[in-house]
Amino acid sequence: MPSLARLFSIALAAMLFPACGPDLSQAPPPDTTAPTRAIRRLAASRLTAVVISSKAELSPWVESRFTQGQGPEDADGGSAVPIAPDGYFITADHVLSRSAGRNVFIIHGQEGGLKAAKARIVWRSSSTDLAVMHIPVATPNYYTWTPQDQWLPAGTPLIHSGIATGFRSEPGKLVTTIPPGSHNAARFKHDIPLEPGDSGGAVIDARGQLVGVNSAVEFLVPLETAFFIESEANRPNVRALQRMIEADRRSNPN
């Protein structure tokens, strides 16, 4: 029989990632406003890395801008996204796949520089490839989600903020329509090529609001040549996600 914790995790995943949705044929045409340089700068300022290592401390290495001291030779990781003013971040679950028995660090801009802080894993879901982490510091420079009552039609311009290509990738567009509503949870696709390290990074609209979280890159491989098709990302049920964070705040007061 599954444990109570396992049953709770399954139920929570169902809330965050329901399968049904509205009729996509009712979607309006996309707003084709392109992201500005200011939005790209905003994304760069919120760029966040996740590093998983057996090391107990990364701060000296990070605060020297990775030039002094010894970095973690056993590092795994990817990207993450700040989603609240009090240290909550969302990432792709597979970024944390080798975190058991090791330390999880979030590297994020703090007080005009980069800081590394040990993170607590709040929630993980392999079925949705989403996870939430917390660090006990203020994070005022965070993303707000696109409204749940708003259509995000295919063709909507996007940028992304992953640690591998977020500084240099060109803008792209949404390939999959995301419908409105309280159950506006979706696995969606966009046409911005990603690289290892971009998993867990933000997918952002032209207004700088968070659409979802990068998950994977899809390639078509005929014979010996790989052709990029599209990238996959995930968006949770935002209201359920916020309720989960509120419950965690009550359970883990600073």
In 3D, which of 5, 208, 247 has the Cα closest to residue 124? 5
User: What's the pLDDT at 113?
Assistant: 82
In this structure, the answer to whether residues 230 and 246 fall within a common structural domain is no
* Cα-based angle 212, 79, 47 (whole degrees, multiple of 5): 85
Q: What is the CATH number of the domain that holds 120?
A: 2.40.10.10
User: What's the pLDDT at 250?
Assistant: 95
* pTM (two decimals): 0.86
Structural domain for 105, as ranges: 47-142+242-251
Q: How many CB atoms lie within 10 A of CB 69?
A: 13
In this structure, the answer to whether residues 161 and 220 fall within a common structural domain is yes
User: What's the pLDDT at 143?
Assistant: 98
Report pLDDT digits (tens) over 107-155: 998 767 888 999 999 999 998 999 999 999 999 999 999 998 889 999 9
The stretches in the chain having pLDDT less than 50 are 1-2, 4, 7-8, 10-11, 14, 18-19
